Amino acid sequence: MSLDIRELLEGVKNGTVSVDEALLKLKMKPFEDIGFAKVDMHRKLRQGTAEVIYGAGKTPEQIVGIVETMLKNGQNTVLITRLSEETAELVGKSLPLNYYKVARCGIIGQMPVPDGIGKVLVVTGGTSDIPVAEEAALTAEVLGNEVVRLYDVGVAGLHRLLAHLDDIMSASVIIAIAGMEGALASVIGGLADCPVIAVPTSVGYGASFNGLSALLSMLNSCASGVSVVNIDNGFGAGYLANMINHLSRKKEG
């Protein structure tokens, strides 16, 4: 059961929410059909996290329509991923959009106060991996996590990573992002006592096959506790890190 539903029922129990108010909340239609999209209004109730907009392939008008529907139905913060600079400029004429060029993400609304159990550490092998890392970091931040960034500490200069053992040891979940041969995830997996989410990137020369080499290396990691998302999937890594970093809240609820 999501935290929102549990809090609603607790409100009925302690008298801060009336039975009629709770019934109205639960009866609200699960999605709103706006013609070109069916906006999922119950996703936060089911999963604890509201819907996120995938911006690639959508027109500015479609994005504005989806966001306005979300805001009208009570969503406080909206994340738009894979948003081009040109589309962001047009969306920004209708909505108060904060655009993050490197991550290709747009955010509407206030960033929430972090309420996870610990810190999410986002690590990259090189500077070229930062766009994917920023997508992961912003996703985790929008979902209510404290994020620590540690960039350009790949295995070609291992001393750079080892200089930050305190960050590695104190994290509750680590996102390891690398292209080329993708060895960073295995190295971190052998040092950390928390889950490691590996993200292969499409960074590298011809034989890296646009990230396939890094993907296969990470899938074949000999370090325990390493899981892998798809190539360049910073959003998926940030979302999963958020779920891990909020597990104790779910248990306490």
CATH number assigned to the domain comprising residue 141: 3.40.50.1970
Position 166, amino acid: D
147 and 225 inside one domain: yes
Here the tokens at position 172 are 């509750």
pTM for the whole thing?
0.85
Parallel/antiparallel/unpaired status of strands 226-228 and 196-200 = parallel
Whether residue 83 has pLDDT greater than 80: yes
72 and 132 inside one domain: no
44 pLDDT band (50/70/90 cuts)? low
59 pLDDT band (50/70/90 cuts)? very high
In-domain check, residue 19: no
Q: What is the dihedral of CA 64, 136, 120, 223, to 10 degrees?
A: 150
Phi–psi pair at 45, nearest 5 degrees: -65, -40
- Partners of 38 in beta bridges: 33
In-domain check, residue 21: no
* Total domains in the fold of the chain: 2
In-domain check, residue 8: no
> In terms of residue numbers, what domain contains 170?
119-249
Q: Which helix (H) or strand (E) holds 11?
A: helix 3-14
Q: Give every CB contact of residue 251 below 8 A, 6+ residues apart in sequence.
A: none
146 and 245 inside one domain: yes
Whether residue 243 has pLDDT greater than 50: yes
Pairwise CA distance, residues 52 & 108, whole Å: 11
Would you list the DSSP string of 177-232? Answer: EE-TT-THHHHHHTT-SS-EEEEE-S-S-GGGGGGHHHHHHHHT--STTEEE--TT
134 and 200 inside one domain: yes
Q: Which of 68, 89, 110 lies at the terminal end of a domain, its last residue?
A: 110
3-state secondary structure of 63: helix
Q: Which helix (H) or strand (E) holds 107?
A: strand 105-108
127 and 233 inside one domain: yes
Parallel/antiparallel/unpaired status of strands 173-178 and 196-200 = parallel
Q: Which of 49, 75, 110 lies at the terminal end of a domain, its last residue?
A: 110
Is the Cβ–Cβ distance between 130 and 179 less than 8 Å? no
106 and 126 inside one domain: no
In-domain check, residue 13: no
Worst-scoring range by mean pLDDT, 32-41, 53-62, 106-115, 169-178? Answer: 32-41
Position 215, amino acid: L
For residue 36, the 8-state DSSP code is S
Whether residue 31 has pLDDT greater than 90: no
Other CB atoms within a 10 A radius of the CB of residue 55 amount to: 22
Q: Which of 110, 130, 154 lies at the terminal end of a domain, its last residue?
A: 110
In-domain check, residue 81: yes
